[in-house]
Amino acid sequence: MNGKTHTPLIHVSKRDALPWQKAWLIRGGSIVAALIVCALITTMLTGENPLQVYGSMLSGAFGTGRRIWQLLRNIAILLTISLAVTPAFKMRFWNIGAEGQVMAGALACTVTMLYLGDKLPNAVLILIMLIASVAAGALWAFIPAFFKAKWNTNETLFTLMMNYIATQLIAFFIVWKYPNGTGTMGIVNQDTRAGWLPRIGGNEFLLIILVSAVITAVMYVYLGYTKHGYELSVVGESERTARYVGIKVGKVVLRTLILSGAVCGVVGFLLVAGVHHSISTNIAGGQGFTAVMVSWLAHFNPIMMVFSSFLLCFLGQGADQISTDLGLDHAFGDILTGVILFFIIGSEFFINYKLNFRPKEERKGRAGNV
């Protein structure tokens, strides 16, 4: 491809593991660069002072006590979905169907809440709702996993399609249940509050945050310190090695995906029973997709995911505030989030690879720059 003895100007080689401080320095740098670009874009479009833009962003996330709690709850939800998809990703099973798995769980939860609402004591009802959600989420992940294990069916495309089937099922349910409605559903059991999750100490967000903290800890142990966790990382590294050492790959795929879907089901349960007390086709709100990025940015490490989900939630909420303050359409937040994601995604390259410049031209001063 190149000439016979031609050395390329830049030669790329894989780095050994970079010390984590340096890795985070690069990431931090990329976020700063992204924020500068975002401020430039905002200033260009609106003529506002960039510092004021950052002010809006901070106040959007931390401005009031309620906003902080909301931020924490959003982090908790996003984090839990990210944790759910992580075991599958570690296995290199690209489950981008978390959206659908959450929706399936939410739908099962709503149905049980609606139909068993007055017939059971609240504790039993909530337990049944939880079981139904977990089962539905697990089923939604099991279907693509089954075909992956049996015929190696492409899981990315399969799980993607399952999302829209779940969306339509919810749409169907709402219209079927309320044929004269506008396609939206009111609050379920508003009078009796049957099936609503209790508030801990009067705080509506705390329970969800605690649940996600527990799931984070459990997932950390599961992935790092159990036989299951080990098996699935072997399958992810090399399927042939896994077969050779006697791991039943199909079984691991099914088991992991059922777990993945079950945790998504829990999120669906939390969203319905703990947050909205209702359901809409938008209940997962794209977080199933965001979770893919959260998990990948954290290199599939549950503890790091706390930070990456914080980052994305903060950006989302902050960008939303910018749009409100400056009177822009709310889609502006998506543009900013997109720009920042591009920078972070790009920065991973400089963590994993090293640029070696052609030595003859003594211009090595630039090599260290990013």
The footprint of other proteins (CB under 8 A) covers 1, 12-14, 45, 94, 96, 147, 150-154, 156-158, 160-162, 164-165, 168-169, 171-172, 175-176, 179, 286, 289-290, 292-293, 296-297, 328-329, 331-335, 337-339, 341-342, 345-346, 348-349, 352-353
Q: Of 127 and 345, which CB lies nearer to other proteins in the complex structure?
A: 345
Rg (CA), the chain: 23
| Shortest spacing between CB 46 and other proteins, in angstroms | 9
Q: Of 115 and 225, which CB lies nearer to other proteins in the complex structure?
A: 115
| Shortest spacing between CB 369 and other proteins, in angstroms | 15
Of 146, 174, 349, the C-alpha closest to 276 is: 174
Q: Point out which residues pair with 223 in neighbouring strands.
A: none
Q: Of 86 and 269, which CB lies nearer to other proteins in the complex structure?
A: 86
Q: Of 204 and 239, which CB lies nearer to other proteins in the complex structure?
A: 239
Q: Of 80 and 295, which CB lies nearer to other proteins in the complex structure?
A: 295
Task: Compute the distance between CA of residue 78 and CA of residue 197 in angstroms, rounded to an integer.
Answer: 19
Q: Of 100 and 195, which CB lies nearer to other proteins in the complex structure?
A: 100
Q: Of 131 and 143, which CB lies nearer to other proteins in the complex structure?
A: 143
Token pair for 278 = 């209702």
| Shortest spacing between CB 290 and other proteins, in angstroms | 8
| Shortest spacing between CB 353 and other proteins, in angstroms | 7
| Shortest spacing between CB 194 and other proteins, in angstroms | 25
Burial letters 223-235, b for 16+ CB under 10 A, else e: beeeeebebbbbb
Please write down the HEC assignment for all residues of the chain. Answer: CCCCCCCCCEEEEECCCCCHHHHHHHHHHHHHHHHHHHHHHHHHHHCCCHHHHHHHHHHHHHCCHHHHHHHHHHHHHHHHHHHHHHHHHHCCCCCCCHHHHHHHHHHHHHHHHHHCCCCCCHHHHHHHHHHHHHHHHHHHHHHHHHHHHHHCCCHHHHHHHHHHHHHHHHHHHHHHHCCCCCCCCCCCCCCCCCCCCCCECCECCHHHHHHHHHHHHHHHHHHHHCHHHHHHHHHHHCHHHHHHCCCCHHHHHHHHHHHHHHHHHHHHHHHHHHHHCCCCCCCCCCHHHHHHHHHHHCCCCHHHHHHHHHHHHHHHHHHHHHHHHHCCCCHHHHHHHHHHHHHHHHHHHHHHEEEEECCCCCCHHHCCCC
Contact 276, 185 (CB under 8 A): no
| Shortest spacing between CB 296 and other proteins, in angstroms | 5
| Shortest spacing between CB 176 and other proteins, in angstroms | 4
Q: Of 30 and 129, which CB lies nearer to other proteins in the complex structure?
A: 30
| Shortest spacing between CB 231 and other proteins, in angstroms | 22
| Shortest spacing between CB 250 and other proteins, in angstroms | 14
Q: Of 44 and 123, which CB lies nearer to other proteins in the complex structure?
A: 44
Q: Of 204 and 334, which CB lies nearer to other proteins in the complex structure?
A: 334
| Shortest spacing between CB 242 and other proteins, in angstroms | 18
Task: Compute the distance between CA of residue 60 and CA of residue 336 in angstroms, rounded to an integer.
Answer: 14
